[in-house]
Structure 1
């Protein structure tokens, strides 16, 4: 009997709450897909460095999946709470007929097992197909070839998925059992006739809190835009906390405030079923302002994460050619230590490996960015940590700079006596530096004042690096004699291998590894092949994390809103019956459902978009720090993803609610 009841209830639940079931399937599908990335490398032609990149992605995805499992667990438990609420009257009938709570728990357990097995099966099948498409994208991002495209099934990803969702379903069963154990028969029978508890009755209290929320959000926006992202300290938490508090107060006050504003326009308020719809929305927001707050913040986080993740990944790939112009860069990790002397002391003969090499040093100066940049330039460059903290601008000798330019095949420069030039590796700072040069800004390095030369600011990266070096964001080029007596802040040596580069690289790596082990990392090594693989790996990790977390957050937010509205529609069936009895036709009822669902979905989305306008400004600054990349196209991609997921759930919710009320 229990199994038949469970099967019947499952069929009815799937019919009424298709969104819940599909969300489970999507969750399983995405979880499997992003945990199967490492297994895709068998189809690709990868070297040892790229293989380590796959391992890095796998480890990061494992950590991210723990976080994602908690999010999905919350969603499933939250959704089950609404399903239990929807079925209270049904359980009340069971108990009236003599069924014990323990028996009801058995039915729920069977339902959980059946739905769990079906969602796991379908989700895994979809995940297997989706992972095949992801393998093509992965190969493209790693800039490697697919040696043979074949269907890959990841056992480890399957085990992780089954283990994760199996654990979640067990927790769901325990949650359901506890929920059933706590409720009384009278509560089950009369639950549909209970009114919502009103949190705020006084309109003036609502108005004051609403104004307070807007003020709090305004202060948070101002602090974020003024402070920027360069200085990552505890103070950055203040605008974040204020933003969360402001969002909470906004939804906390919205129920009373929104209704009063609507009532002030009698013509619109009394038109069609607007009065009924607004009362329903007011009642719902009144009890769900906490979940509204979290949904709004999750949508905001998803928008910024997707835009930033995709933009940063592309920036890393765009800069990779500039960051790997030499086969190897060696840098002394000791303040005033000259790299050439450090290598000689370590008995490493560079000439044995190098076809050609160039050694150079950058020196400290007493000129800060505030001394050189204009006031407007300081504001524009505030996203860069050296600019925001007014660090001193480094100096390089003219001969060293020209040696580097000659090695990479670029034009050398000339300086007259008492002149200086400047170079940068940050494209977004080029215009700011040029403005200072155009203003004929004098500098004093180590004696007489120097005037800017006629040379335009030069965009160049002077050494291998995993990311554009903060020390090279702005560097002065001066005559060799001008650096006498200045302290060395960085000493580097760039080289290109001679002869058989692969053999030279292997011998060099073996010798340098022993050198580093002996000297306890006093010399830093930046190899071209390692940087190419690691940079690509980091780019893939950032992109996949952005997609993984962003999509899950959007699905969770939309699913919670959908379930809340479906539950609301189920509770309002009797009210819609009364509306039909007094002459309201189906067309007007459908319009009221569309309006109610639309307003409910748009409220958290609207505030999240306002948050995102500020957040995307910060995202743009972050991307500009990493590299030269316009994030507009990634914002458009994010908007398309948001429209697809959020819009899909909205359409499904409207159709589900309409069918529920009609039937």
Structure 2
């Protein structure tokens, strides 16, 4: 009997359940696609780092499942409020509370199974789209991917967790609520703010703060990529300021905009505008904090997606700069290497042909005169200043196709990190055989094959009498399409550490480093897109539920329009306008921010001398298109449900 009644109730209430159904189906499709990508065997085989990095995505999925469960619990609360009288009638007729809970569980189970099944179908298509994106990011040909058994099982477990949380919250409510509370819905009284001077000032100040935070965000972001000291902290402060400013801006605007618009006689006398503005005045004011938070989450999704692709573009070029040779290695002069230069050479020749080999010695004076000028140095520091001969540097520069340097009683500082340019060495001098050597230049052009933060490049005679501390090797090979992972494994060894062994290597392979970097960039991009789209999806769901939760109040107000002779067509247009403006409120500013974000991102890439493979403006258009699509789906469903309850009853 319960199954029949539950199934009949589900069909009868299907339109009311649409928001619940759409949210479950869309979120499960995202989770399904992500989990199957995480456990894709081909991806894990192509990039060893993907397997370890993908654990972070799995944790992210778990975190998002908690958020999804909370939002769906809110959706269930809306459905319960909508069916208060029905459940109250059941109790009045003698049905036990546990029977109502069981009935509601069966209804949710039927709908949940259908929604999860729909999510799996669309998730399978989305999974192929994710694999296409990963193939582009990891630079390998796309092929159709079968779903993973582990991915399906993990998704089912997460779906069960979501339903368990939502059902628990609903059952607690049904077991505690009284018959009176079910039969008589409470009438909410909205406080309309008069003369919102404080809110207007808050809006203006927040707008200035948004511009300031956005401008400085790009400055600190550039500093992070250039490895400038303090940029990370500055970036976090700007993100925090942007979050607070966006939230306060929408709070102030929500409490003042409708009041200001109602001051315009021409605007409010046009059609049913005054009715719409008064409706929105109460709704926006009571939901101001929520709208501000949603606006930030949507902005975060857009900024994070652009930053992810920006990181990929910059990191690809950084790999080329840090590892300009096909294979690079280093030997300590005082320790026997685990894998010698000759052994490394033999290993390389098993996979490809060596075309060029460069050997570069490094020396030390035993002093720390230059290291003392940096933030890396402390009293327990064991490293010493490292020197490089001018002729050896010029050999490297010629191999890289760059002009050699000429030092005339001068020295230069070279490093593989851009942060070196932030230190001042101008007052430091070198004395050798009565000659004084002053600073010529500081450059971040050194290949990453020396175990030192930086080296001091000096004329050859200056290193006479110094001790050689290490030797760097660089090889260029004839064919670069060899198995980089296999070669990296051949050049690695296990070193005991505490009670276990760690994998180490004194050699760097350009193609392997590129693959490793691409895997990290891909995980970052997919992760922020996943997080962003789930945030947007849940934001729209909350907007829809907020609109639907006020159906009883809207029904009374639209009945007044009906009684004063407003036609059904005008009522429909008025309702559509009201819902459209409420939905658009937290979305407009984030979408407008997408334009300067894209422009700044492209300018930033060009400023650093990089060329992006994917237009940031095109990327922003795609992201905005997805937001608009999700927006339209939730708007259409919300409007259909509201129209049924608010307008259709008058006929």
Please name the residue that 1:292 is paired with: 291
d(CA) in 2 for partners of 1:488, 1:83: 76
Give secondary structure in 2 for the equivalent of 1:357: strand
The question of whether the paired residues in 2 share the 8 Å contact of 1:38 and 1:57 is answered with no
2:391 equivalent to 1:399: yes
Deviations 1:5-24 (A, max 9, x none): 32233223332342331221
Deviations 1:225-262 (A, max 9, x none): 67656426667655555444444444444444223212
Please name the residue that 1:547 is paired with: 529
Compute the displacement of 1:34 (Å).
Answer: 0.9
Please name the residue that 2:628 is paired with: 643
Please name the residue that 1:335 is paired with: none
d(CA) in 1 for partners of 2:315, 2:568: 55
Please name the residue that 1:203 is paired with: 196
Deviations 1:336-380 (A, max 9, x none): xxx45146x43754135435232254998869999xxxxxxxxxx
d(CA) in 2 for partners of 1:29, 1:531: 33
Relative to structure 1, the CA distance from residue 535 to residue 451 in structure 2 (aligned partners, 3 Å threshold; closer, same or farther) is: closer
Give secondary structure in 2 for the equivalent of 1:526: strand
Please name the residue that 1:309 is paired with: 308
Relative to structure 1, the CA distance from residue 584 to residue 445 in structure 2 (aligned partners, 3 Å threshold; closer, same or farther) is: farther
Q: For 2:180, which of 175, 181, 186 is the aligned residue?
A: 186
d(CA) in 2 for partners of 1:484, 1:168: 71
Compute the displacement of 1:33 (Å).
Answer: 0.9
Give 1 or 2: higher helix fraction: 1
Q: For 2:52, which of 48, 56, 59 is the aligned residue?
A: 56
Matches within 5 A, 1:410-429: 410-415=401-406, 417-418=408-409
Relative to structure 1, the CA distance from residue 99 to residue 500 in structure 2 (aligned partners, 3 Å threshold; closer, same or farther) is: closer
Matches within 5 A, 1:239-638: 239-331=238-330, 339-342=331-334, 345-346=336-337, 349-354=340-345, 356-359=357-360, 361=362, 397-408=389-400, 410-415=401-406, 417-418=408-409, 445-446=429-430, 447-449=436-438, 462-463=447-448, 479-481=459-461, 492-495=472-475, 513=493, 524-569=506-551, 571-609=553-591, 629=612, 631-638=616-623
Deviations 1:312-346 (A, max 9, x none): 23443455445544343234xxxxxxx45146x43
Deviations 1:587-619 (A, max 9, x none): 322332232222212221234357767877997
Structure 1 segments unaligned to the other structure (5+ residues):
332-338, 371-384, 386-392, 434-440
Relative to structure 1, the CA distance from residue 201 to residue 12 in structure 2 (aligned partners, 3 Å threshold; closer, same or farther) is: farther
The question of whether the paired residues in 2 share the 8 Å contact of 1:41 and 1:54 is answered with no
Aligned-residue CA RMSD in angstroms? Answer: 4.8
d(CA) in 2 for partners of 1:488, 1:248: 59
Structure 2 segments unaligned to the other structure (5+ residues):
225-229, 346-353, 377-384, 431-435
d(CA) in 2 for partners of 1:525, 1:4: 69
The question of whether the paired residues in 1 share the 8 Å contact of 2:389 and 2:463 is answered with yes
Please name the residue that 1:91 is paired with: 87
2:34 equivalent to 1:34: yes
d(CA) in 2 for partners of 1:279, 1:662: 18
d(CA) in 2 for partners of 1:52, 1:41: 11
The question of whether the paired residues in 1 share the 8 Å contact of 2:411 and 2:438 is answered with no
Please name the residue that 1:2 is paired with: 2
Q: For 1:110, which of 91, 106, 122 is the aligned residue?
A: 106
| TM-score when normalising by structure 2 | 0.78
Compute the displacement of 1:407 (Å).
Answer: 4.0
d(CA) in 2 for partners of 1:16, 1:505: 54
Please name the residue that 1:379 is paired with: none
Relative to structure 1, the CA distance from residue 196 to residue 238 in structure 2 (aligned partners, 3 Å threshold; closer, same or farther) is: farther
Relative to structure 1, the CA distance from residue 291 to residue 181 in structure 2 (aligned partners, 3 Å threshold; closer, same or farther) is: farther
Compute the displacement of 1:183 (Å).
Answer: 2.9
Relative to structure 1, the CA distance from residue 39 to residue 241 in structure 2 (aligned partners, 3 Å threshold; closer, same or farther) is: closer
Compute the displacement of 1:209 (Å).
Answer: 4.9
Relative to structure 1, the CA distance from residue 601 to residue 341 in structure 2 (aligned partners, 3 Å threshold; closer, same or farther) is: same
Deviations 1:191-245 (A, max 9, x none): 26x1334285663454455556556656755765676564266676555554444
- Report the count of equivalent residues: 612
Please name the residue that 2:171 is paired with: 177
Give secondary structure in 2 for the equivalent of 1:565: helix
The question of whether the paired residues in 2 share the 8 Å contact of 1:273 and 1:592 is answered with yes
Deviations 1:284-314 (A, max 9, x none): 2233223223211211111111111233234
2:156 equivalent to 1:155: no
Give secondary structure in 2 for the equivalent of 1:358: strand
Q: For 2:161, which of 140, 162, 167 is the aligned residue?
A: 167
The question of whether the paired residues in 2 share the 8 Å contact of 1:207 and 1:253 is answered with yes
d(CA) in 2 for partners of 1:394, 1:555: 54
d(CA) in 2 for partners of 1:236, 1:51: 30
The question of whether the paired residues in 1 share the 8 Å contact of 2:412 and 2:439 is answered with no
Greater RCO (CA < 8 Å, at least 6 residues apart): 1
Compute the displacement of 1:425 (Å).
Answer: 7.2
d(CA) in 2 for partners of 1:634, 1:142: 18
d(CA) in 2 for partners of 1:227, 1:499: 40
The question of whether the paired residues in 1 share the 8 Å contact of 2:407 and 2:458 is answered with no
Please name the residue that 1:124 is paired with: 120
Deviations 1:545-584 (A, max 9, x none): 1221111111111121122223334641232233122121
